[in-house]
Structure 1
Amino acid sequence: MAVAHKGSISMGLVLIPVGLYKTTIDNDIHFNQLCKDSKERIQYKKYCRHCNKEVASDDIIKGYEYEKGKYVVMTNEELEKIKTKKDKTIHIIQFARMSEVNMIYYEKDYYAVPETGAEKAYELLRQALLSQRKVAIAKTVMGTNEKLLVLYPTKDGIIVKTLFYQDEIAAVPKNVPKMKLEENELNMAKMLIENMTKPFEPAAFQDEYQARLREAIHKKIQGQEIVAVDTSGPSNVIDLMEALQKSLELSSGQHQIGSA
């Protein structure tokens, strides 16, 4: 797996060289865009209207539009020059309790893997954080963006989570009123949750739609027709108590089957 970013975790005077690796793999089916008539792939070209020609990647530079139609050009060398030593490290600013970081701020995850020789310092940080159930709040520059980070300890290593800044979080689009609930409604909801509660096992879940999509693609290749897999109509249950009661009965039956 290719390294996404390299740097050193800076904790006071302690430096821990690490590489950041993506934590996820894209297994989804991706479609290409084709011309309806020829069935040939649609191509997107980088084109300069002024030069009337296609532009190669090596001939593309970064420009910031400070006025309409006016750009200031920034080279990669100039962008590197404005980075401080601190920008080139994953410098820890403070520590916080795990529970204090709201999940809405999490953006992307990376595995932090120590470079050769940094394993002991890495393990020291991991164990110290995990024993106190704390995370490290840090910053680093990745590309042209200063990223706010959380160094999150696990039993196997450290996950680096990039965070959104406060001004990047959109406000709730609509205030949801706090409705008054009947005690029996709440009790039934709690029972339903209890019946459906079991240990979370990630391996127990698969992308079922992708599996059906692969099967449908295979059928199309074989010249077969795609048949609807679900022809049932919408549920007519609209009463909250009735819906809870039916859900509870269904979950109770499944719970008994699972316990058998």
Structure 2
Amino acid sequence: MPIAHKSAISVGMLYIPVSLYKTTRDTGISFNQLCKGEDGQHQRIKYQKICPSCNKEIKSSDIIKGYEYEKGKYVTISNDELERIKTKKDKTIHIIYFTKLSEIDPILFDKDYYLAPEAGGEKAYELLRQALLSTKKAAIAKTVLGSKEELVVLYPTKNSIIAKMIFFQEEIQPVPNISKVQLDKKELEMAKSLISNMTETFNHDEFVDEYQAKLREAIQTKINGQEIVTAGNEQQTTAIDLMTALQQTLEMANNHSIPS
């Protein structure tokens, strides 16, 4: 597994060199963009980076970063200059304080990384992991990745420490205007019964991407020179009042007949 970033966890005089690894991978089918082609020859579309002044294709090595501070006016900045403004603290995942993970609103959660200790940091890493587990706490930290400061939550698992990037408050959109309505007591009790009847222990392993399987099957069908058959549509739901809908759904839940 390739290393996404190298850093170190720091708190006071404690310094733990670590590597960050992505926790997920994209398993979805991706499509290329092709030219229709009148002769039936589907050629893949190519994208070129053209400079309007030079009127020629530019190599990646000739591209630099620039910030537009006025219309049509740019100030350029190099990777070396970006590194110069980083303090020693910026280059580490420096812990600010500890808290309960449950106190962090899940809407703040962004991407995750596995944290793995580098050579020499194994004991300090394990000490932090077990201490977090024992106290049921997570660490709130900051670091700089690329040109962006990241707010980070470090939380322990039975095997590792996960670095969960979280959004700053200014990045969160305000809640849309949702009007409050009065609920009938019977409707609420029935909805609670429905939730109770459909409550199970979460088992991640039982969920698979069923659409990807259908997509792969459709692609193979086309490769075999056959037509893709239209999938059968589910029966259209008839508009009914809320109480009747709850009652019927509760009966389906009791009979384990709600489609998954």
Does the alignment reach a TM-score above 0.5? yes
Q: Within 5 Å, which residues of 2 pair with 1:60-209?
A: 60-173=63-176, 175-209=177-211
Q: Distance in 2 between matches of 1:62 and 1:241?
A: 59
RMSD, matched Cα: 1.3
Question: Which consecutive aligned stretches of 4+ in structure 1 deviate over 3 angstroms post-superposition?
Answer: none
Q: 1:60-114 CA deviation, whole Å, 9 max, x = no partner?
A: 1111111111111111111111111001100001111111111111110000111
Deviation at 1:16, TM superposition (A): 0.6
- In the other structure, the counterpart of 2:255 is 253
Distance 1:203 1:47, change over 3 A: same
What residue is the counterpart of 2:20 in the other structure? 20
Deviation readout 1:192-240 (Å, 9 max, x if unpaired): 1111111111110001111111111110111111112222342004311
User: For residues 217 and 242 of structure 1, what CA distance do their matches in structure 2 show?
Assistant: 42
Distance 1:199 1:171 in 2: 32
For residues 85 and 106 of structure 2, what CA distance do their matches in structure 1 show? 32
State the shift of 1:30 in Å: 0.5
TM-superposition CA deviations, 1:141-178 (whole Å, max 9, x none): 100111111101122211101111111101112x2223
Paired with 2:198 and 2:100, the residues of 1 have a C-alpha distance of 30
Secondary structure of the 2:253 match is: helix
Equivalent position SS for 2:69: strand
1:151 match: secondary structure: strand
In 2, Cα distance between equivalents of 1:178 and 1:96: 33
Take 1:230 and 1:181, find their aligned partners in 2: how far apart are those partners? 37
TM-score by length of 1: 0.94
Aligned to 2:28, the other structure's residue is in SS state: coil
**Residues paired across the two proteins, number:** 254
Alpha-carbon offset, residue 27 of structure 1? 0.3
Structure-2 residue corresponding to 1:218? 220
1:228 pairs with 2:221 = no
Q: Which amino acid aligns with 1:21?
A: Y
Distance 1:32 1:80 in 2: 36
Unaligned runs of 5+ in 1: 256-260
SS for the counterpart of 1:254 is coil
Provide the rounded CA distance (Å) in 1 between the counterparts of 2:183 and 2:75. 59
1:18 CA drift (Å): 0.6
Residues in 1 aligned to 2:73 and 2:224: alpha-carbon distance in whole angstroms:
55
For residues 246 and 237 of structure 1, what CA distance do their matches in structure 2 show? 13
Greater mean deviation of Cα atoms: 48-57 or 187-196? 187-196
